[in-house]
Chain A
Amino acid sequence: MPFIPHTDDDTREMLDAIGAKTIDDLFDEIPAELMIDSLDGVPDAMSEMEISRLMRERAAMDGAPLCFIGAGAYEHHIPQAVWDIATRGEYYSAYTPYQAEASQGTLQTIYEYQSMITELTGLDVSNASLYDGASGLAEAALMAVRGNRKAKSRQVLLAPGVNPAYARVAMAIAGSQGLTFDYLPMNPSTGNLEPGSLDDDAEPVAVVIQQPTFTGTLEDVDRITDWAHARGALVIAIANPTSLAVLKAPGHWGENGADIACGEGQPLGVPLSSGGPYFGYMTCKQQHVRQMPGRIIGRTTDLEGKPGFTLTLQAREQHIRRSKATSNICTNQGLMVTAATIYMSLLGIDGLAAVARQSVGNTARLAAGLTSIDGVERLFEGPCFHEVALKLDRPVAPVLEALAARNILGGYDLGADLPDGGNALLVCATETKTGADIDTYVETMREIFTSPLTQSA
């Protein structure tokens, strides 16, 4: 099949058929004052050679620092085989092709992905992915509203551990559709929900609980889940998929389990690569499947009784349901999902659990080292996963700059994200960090804290 755009003759023929003189005539409904000839600030086109050079130079600026930043995206070891396989010609596409069922391999890959993600989250069905974790929360909130028609409310309550960037994205996407997002109060000593703050008069349509929390702590998910269900709300879980190899699956939270789970799929074999592309995952209980956005691949049998894979429940989707579709999402991040499927297959559940445990151990070792420095202490008490929030006795930004000058990305400055601001730093050490790496960070930090330039005021 040739993928060649129509020729001038084709265009002429089509315009003649509908009685239009030029292509511009097709857009004459747009008022002239809204039409623009050029885009300000967009540079001129560049040749392939020029753009390759530019991108190489920009990529080199990243260098190869020792990275201790988490805060939603995590540096994990990606076996060489993952992207060797994912970039084979048979897989190398972001999309499910048109006539999807002709590409059985692609559909089977997504089906395997869905099976693994449902197993990790303990829920019944998965879609074929979303753009990322943050937009996944927006989709989950809209889905909860559709799936909880008994609730008159459009208020979504967020446990204090929900990633603030996710909350902002969800508000940007779903706020214009009448949903409101409000944080529940945080206990300043644990970083988790303030006990006693669950109001028995609240009537939220959904409650969002992130586990591990944005600051790496572990929330009492069972209690909040049961409270939310007693208030007639659906429960949306946000979970780091790596953590699900060792922590309780959202489908088993509380008496009845979370109703929807979503999150960032990047830890599963997708490199940090300056922020994307990543992918979001989403799973739910069977009873909500018709409200789910995106594509779903099902396993079936063909006319000869042979197993096969097919797009299923398509009537939810935009090509059939038009403006009433559950979402305008379709395949989106197919290539990232392919990599994640290969990553999960290679590691297996035991391998993923080993990654999780090693990361937890490394982070504990890093936290112990850093808090041995005078002026650095834990911000919150209690256990944490592979990330820990620290309180510094001086402003965080100059410390991070000093670390960066020594080729260390020291963590994420929490100042803007916590209610009382303060000098708070979120650090993470995944399985990619050796004992020597962690010691390097700790000793560098110790030197910075004893140097006069960043002394506390």
Chain B
Amino acid sequence: MSELPGDLQYTSDHEWLRREDDGSVTVGITDHAQSALGDLVYVELPEVNQEVEAGGDMAVVESVKAASDVYAPIAGTVVAVNDALSDDPEVINNDPYGDGWIVRLEPGGDEGDLLSPDAYQALLDELES
């Protein structure tokens, strides 16, 4: 049973999204995603000021057994990346919803298809059944 904070939105690709007070949006991967990938060894981050499309490639997380794209849940511009992940990618394994955040976006345009915590939980239940 993976942890699922109620104040976040989710995507069917197992990203989470938090709306910050300043209007920006923080994005990471869910507890379920980090657990499925296993110990992360590398995170490829986008460049600040890079523009992303909803559903487009934004970052890559690599574990000892797989590498997986992280998609932008909404369209926007990258305003910050979590540089700490370059030296210590396992932060994502240890704290996926906190220090393990990946990218902060300034929203612009397409809001994508976002899931509520309940809807994402239903998706996980379906995957596990």
In the assembled complex, the CB of A302 is this many whole angstroms from the nearest CB of chain B, namely 16
Please tell me if the beta carbons of A320 and B42 are within 8 angstroms of each other in the complex: no
Tell me how far the C-beta of B81 lies from the nearest C-beta in chain A, rounded to whole angstroms. Answer: 12
Tell me, yes or no, whether B46 is within 8 Å of chain A by CB. yes
Whether a CB of chain B sits under 8 angstroms from the CB of A321 is: yes
From A149, A150, A290, contact of B42 by CB (8 A): A290
In the assembled complex, the CB of A283 is this many whole angstroms from the nearest CB of chain B, namely: 20
> How far does the alpha carbon of A290 sit from the alpha carbon of B66 in the complex, in Å?
13
Q: Are A150 and B66 in contact (CB under 8 A)?
A: no
- For residue B44, CB closer than 8 A to chain A, the reply is yes
> A404 in the interface, Cβ–Cβ < 8 Å?
no
Asked if B44 and A290 sit within 8 Å, CB to CB, the answer is: yes
Whether A150 lies near B63 (C-beta < 8 A) is no
A150 to B50, CA, bound (A): 9
Q: Which chain A residues numbered 310 to 353 have a C-beta less than 8 Å away from chain B?
A: 315-316, 320-321, 324
Separation of A306 and B50 alpha carbons in the complex (Å): 45
Q: Are B63 and A149 in contact (CB under 8 A)?
A: no
The distance in angstroms between the C-alpha atoms of A290 and B65, with both chains bound, is: 15
Number of interface residues of A (CB under 8 A): 8
- Complex CA–CA separation, A324 to B44 (angstroms): 14
CA A324 – CA B67 in complex, angstroms?
9
Q: Shortest CB–CB separation between residue B90 and chain A, in angstroms?
A: 15
Nearest Cβ in chain A — how far from B38, in angstroms? Answer: 11
Q: Is the CB of A315 within 8 A of B63?
A: yes
A320 touches B66 (CB 8 A): yes
Q: How far is the CB of A287 from chain B (nearest CB, A)?
A: 11
Residues of chain B in range 25-77 having any CB-CB distance to chain A below 8 Å: 42, 44, 46-47, 50, 62-67, 69
In Å, the complex CA distance between A150 and B67 comes to: 22
Q: Is B67 within 8 A of A316, CB to CB?
A: yes
Residues of A within 8 A of B42 (CB): 290, 315
Question: Which residues of B are found within 8 Å of A320, using beta-carbon distances?
Answer: 65-67
Judging by beta carbons under 8 Å apart, are A324 and B69 in contact?
A: yes
Which of A149, A290, A315, A316 has a CB less than 8 Å from the CB of B50? A149
Bound complex: CA A25 to CA B40 (Å): 42
Interface residue from B47, B62, B64, B69 paired with A150 (Cβ < 8 Å) = B47
- Please report the C-alpha to C-alpha distance between residue A324 and residue B63 in the assembled complex, in whole angstroms: 15
Indicate if the CB atoms of A321 and B47 lie closer than 8 Å: no
CB distance from B59 to the nearest CB of A (A): 11
Instruction: Tell me the complex Cα distance, A324–B47, Å.
Output: 19
Contacts of A149 in B (CB 8 A): 46-47, 50
- For residue A150, which residues in chain B have a CB less than 8 angstroms away from its CB? 47
CB-nearest residue of chain A to B49 = A150
B67 and A321 form a contact (CB under 8 A): yes
Asked whether B66 lies within 8 Å of A315 as measured between CB atoms, the reply is yes
User: A320: nearest residue on chain B (CB-CB)?
Assistant: B66
List residues of chain A with CB within 8 A of the CB of B66.
315, 320
- Tell me the bound Cα distance from A352 to B101 in angstroms: 51
Docked complex Cα distance between A136 and B42 (Å): 26
Contact B62 A315 (CB under 8 A): yes
Which A residues between 261 and 288 are near B, CB-CB below 8 angstroms? none
CB contacts (< 8 Å) of B69 on chain A: these are: 324
Q: Of A290, A315, A316, which is in contact with the most chain B CB atoms at under 10 Å from its CB?
A: A315
- A321 cross-chain contacts in B, Cβ below 8 A: 67
In the complex, 6 of the A-B residue pairs with CB atoms within 8 angstroms, ordered by the A residue number, are: A149-B47, A150-B47, A290-B42, A315-B63, A315-B64, A321-B67
What residues of chain A have their CB less than 8 Å away from a CB belonging to chain B? 149-150, 290, 315-316, 320-321, 324
14 new A-B contacts at CB < 8 Å, known A315-B64, A315-B65, A320-B67: A149-B46, A149-B47, A150-B47, A290-B42, A290-B44, A290-B62, A315-B42, A315-B62, A315-B63, A315-B66, A315-B67, A320-B66, A321-B67, A324-B67
Listed in ascending order, the chain B residues whose CB lies under 8 Å from chain A are 42, 44, 46-47, 50, 62-67, 69
Closest 5 A/B residue pairs (Cβ): A315-B67, A315-B62, A321-B67, A149-B47, A150-B47
